[in-house]
Every structure is written in structure tokens, then in C-alpha cells.
């Protein structure tokens, strides 16, 4: 019984540890600099979070990790962003 409980505990701990936070910066399609924090999971390339521009405006972003510390996606208004890890 102890082995089964330990196994379940390890699986639960492992699945929780796969959530990731990415600190990113980059530009939108209008060449406006943005930065922010994205959340993702090791099992999925999709990320989401809030980006802030130079004027302090905040935008919700949904995109994908495309490799090599780079992300692409869109905000709620349909503006395209190309981001990289800070």
C-alpha cells in the first residue's frame, strides 16, 4: 500500500512541476516594444499571459512556443507579436 501511495504522490508532484513561467520581451507587428510574463506547461506549446508596452498599456496574449526561446501569437485585438526570453 505504501508503494502505491508513494507512486501516486510522485505522479501528482511531477504533473504540478511542469507548469512554467516565461519572462519575455519583443515587438508587435507595428514595431512597438512589449514585455511581460507568460504561463505555459511542459506538455503543451501554448502559452498565455499579459504583455505591457512602453506606455504602460497591458494586453492579454495567447500564443505558442516556437523553439529556441521564441514565442509568437496574438492579443485580444488580433495584433501579432514576436517574443523571446529576456
Residue pLDDT, tens place only, 10-30: 444 455 558 999 999 999 999
DSSP class of 49: E
Quote the pLDDT of residue 63: 98
Let me know: does 47 contact 37? Beta carbons within 8 Å.
Answer: no
Quote the pLDDT of residue 16: 55
Give residue 42's pLDDT band: very low, low, confident or very high (50, 70, 90): confident
Residue pLDDT, tens place only, 59-81: 999 999 999 999 999 999 999 99
Residue that is written with C-alpha cell 512556443 in the block: 65
Quote the pLDDT of residue 61: 98
Could you tell me which residues are beta bridge partners of residue 10?
none
Mean pLDDT to the nearest integer, 49-57? 97
Q: How is the chain split into domains, by residue range?
A: 19-85
Quote the pLDDT of residue 17: 54
Mean pLDDT to the nearest integer, 35-56? 95
Amino acid at each position: 500500500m505504501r508503494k502505491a501511495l508513494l507512486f501516486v504522490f510522485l505522479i501528482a508532484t511531477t504533473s504540478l512541476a511542469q507548469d512554467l513561467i516565461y519572462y519575455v520581451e519583443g515587438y508587435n507587428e507595428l514595431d512597438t516594444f512589449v514585455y511581460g510574463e507568460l504561463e505555459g506547461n511542459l506538455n503543451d506549446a501554448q502559452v498565455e499571459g499579459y504583455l505591457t508596452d512602453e506606455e504602460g498599456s497591458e494586453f492579454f496574449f495567447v500564443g505558442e512556443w516556437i523553439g529556441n526561446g521564441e514565442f509568437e501569437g496574438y492579443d485580444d485585438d488580433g495584433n501579432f507579436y514576436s517574443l523571446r526570453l529576456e
